[in-house]
Chains A and B, each alone.
Chain A
Amino acid sequence: MALLEELREAVVDGRAKVAVAKVEEALAEGIEAGTLLREGLIAAMAQVGKLYEEGEIFVPEMLVAARAMTAALSVLKPQLVEEGVVSSGKVAIGTTQGDLHDIGKNLVAMMLEGSGYEIVDLGVDVPADKFIQAIKDGANVVAMSALLTTTMTNMQVAIEAITQAGLRDQVRIIVGGAPITKSYADEIGADGYAEDASSAVRLVKEVLAA
């Protein structure tokens, strides 16, 4: 469908106004919001993620595309609610206790939302009990970020607290941030490690399918 292709191109190229216009045009033509989300926006962001991981584009270009996606999604959201379109999963994301860095966490949240996930952003300096409450409120995935070696240890504290609360089997836990490695993620009992926002999207899909 030409309109869907034009929407995808607009998002990939970072043309926010065009992306919004295409969404409005498509809705006016009777194309379902769910279709526009899946085959338009999510498909476009998957392509953006692939281009980034292949080194064809860099963070600035990925962000410009994400900006276009966010603009288009804001137009689509009311229709998605009306159509009863459900998300692919609910992700509670936050920067670990003691850490105030938020940009990377916000980036991951944005990319996940653009890929069809419902996001609960817990903010920064998040103690274990907030992650626990988010799981009780329906989060299937907990995503934790840390940017310091002194705060990354609180990821393990949170995972242990989630386990002690009897909730470990109900949730998939992924971690990321500058000092984090896959081996550290394995050591603390996380289900996965993502080195950037783009691979976080792929990881959430993988852990939810597992």
Chain B
Amino acid sequence: MVLRSLGADPELVRRRQSSALAVAEQAVARGTPLLRPVVASANFAVTEFRHERLRLGEAGHLSGPLVAEHLHAAQSVTVAVCSIGAALEEAASECFSEDPALSVALDALGSAAVDLLGTAMCQRVDLRAEAAGLRTTVPLSPGLVGWPVAAGQRQIFALLDTAAAGVTLTGGSMMVPKKSTSMVIGIGPDVEHAGESCDYCSMAETCRYREEHVSHHG
């Protein structure tokens, strides 16, 4: 997964360059103990949908064209922020001057790990919904086309106690720790699971990770 997150074909790397594979393995060995997975999530009943705005009772709201497109039929939404903590990314930055290959491999491990965590979160929501005879939407994250990062992150962070999970939002709407992901999933009998998250990303055409991307969509 580390090699794939670096855009490499693991089989080709194994055949050609054992030192690159060794770097990836070293990253996994050194980085895995630094993972501190944490999830802040909550489920909110939808009380009203009007003018691209999904009201969640007194808790707050979600709004935007993408929200309207996918969540208009939702009975409830699960909102989540997932993070692997700061230890791994700090280790990656600290070791760059000494070993840039290991540094980037650690960073790739972090990307792979937070993606897996997000996927696990989505699968959990899907299973619970299925058990209740309900459907789920594709997971939506701020930054997808139709949901600007700044607006979307502010809406999500207003709904959750993310500080307890150790995740904060900078003035520029960047999550800290950097290896964090946020998402909203609509739940209900009439929602549609239209495609996958990558379909709504502005970089879908050029993303080199898309083919091998282990993503948090169903």
Point out residues on A near B: beta carbons under 8 Å. 13-15, 57-61, 63-64, 66-67, 70, 97-103, 106-107, 110, 148-151, 178-179
Closest to B24 in A: A60
Closest beta carbon of chain B to A59's beta carbon, Å: 4
- Expressed in whole angstroms, the Cα–Cα distance for A149 and B12 within the complex equals 34
On chain B, the number of residues with a Cβ less than 8 Å from chain A's Cβ atoms is 37
Q: Which of B100, B174, B176, B203 contacts A179 (CB 8 A)?
A: B203
Q: Which of A58, A103, A106 contacts B8 (CB 8 A)?
A: A58
Point out residues on B near A: beta carbons under 8 Å. 3, 6-9, 12-13, 16-17, 19-21, 23-24, 92-93, 96, 99-101, 103-105, 107, 143, 148-150, 170-174, 176, 178, 202-203
The reply to whether B104 and A107 form a contact with Cβ atoms under 8 Å apart is yes
Closest beta carbon of chain A to B111's beta carbon, Å: 10
Q: Which of B13, B93, B148 contacts A102 (CB 8 A)?
A: B93
The reply to whether A67 and B100 form a contact with Cβ atoms under 8 Å apart is yes
Q: Which of B21, B100, B178 contacts A100 (CB 8 A)?
A: B178
The reply to whether B149 and A148 form a contact with Cβ atoms under 8 Å apart is yes
Q: Output the residue of B16, B19, B203 with the most chain A CB within 10 A.
A: B19
A97 contact set on B, CB distance < 8 A: 172
The reply to whether B174 and A60 form a contact with Cβ atoms under 8 Å apart is no
A101 contact set on B, CB distance < 8 A: 178
- Expressed in whole angstroms, the Cα–Cα distance for A126 and B178 within the complex equals 17
- Expressed in whole angstroms, the Cα–Cα distance for A14 and B102 within the complex equals 13
Closest to A148 in B: B174
